């Protein structure tokens, strides 16, 4: 298990395999995804609340990290480079 994160937990939810989930994650909040059973891939999309043309970019994130594996503290980038 990953270490505890600072701040209050706003939502703690278990999502079954192959099930969808959606929510708003605001600036400064942390989204933690934990694979409870092992061997489950996560398909992940994130869009800017104010401008849905800005989205999470796996390509830009990987290029900036110079690593395909996301770890604690990795910086996620949008297609706008922020």
Output the DSSP codes for 21-63: ------TT-------SSSS-------B-SS-TT-BB-HHHHHH
58 contacts: CB under 8 Å, gap ≥ 6: none
- CA distance linking residue 4 with residue 9, whole number of Å: 10
Residue 4 has pLDDT above 80, yes or no: no
Query: Which pTM does this prediction carry?
Result: 0.67
pLDDT digits 0-9 by tens, 11-58: 888 988 888 999 998 888 888 888 888 887 788 899 999 999 999 999
């Amino acid at each position: 298990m990953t270490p505890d994160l600072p701040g209050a937990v706003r939502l703690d939810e278990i999502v079954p395999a192959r099930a969808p989930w959606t929510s708003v994650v605001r600036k400064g909040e942390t989204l933690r995804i934990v694979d409870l059973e092992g061997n489950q891939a996560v398909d992940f999309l994130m869009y800017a609340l104010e401008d849905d043309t800005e989205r999470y970019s796996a390509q830009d994130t990987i290029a900036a990290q110079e690593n395909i594996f996301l770890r604690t503290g990795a910086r996620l980038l949008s297609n706008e480079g922020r």
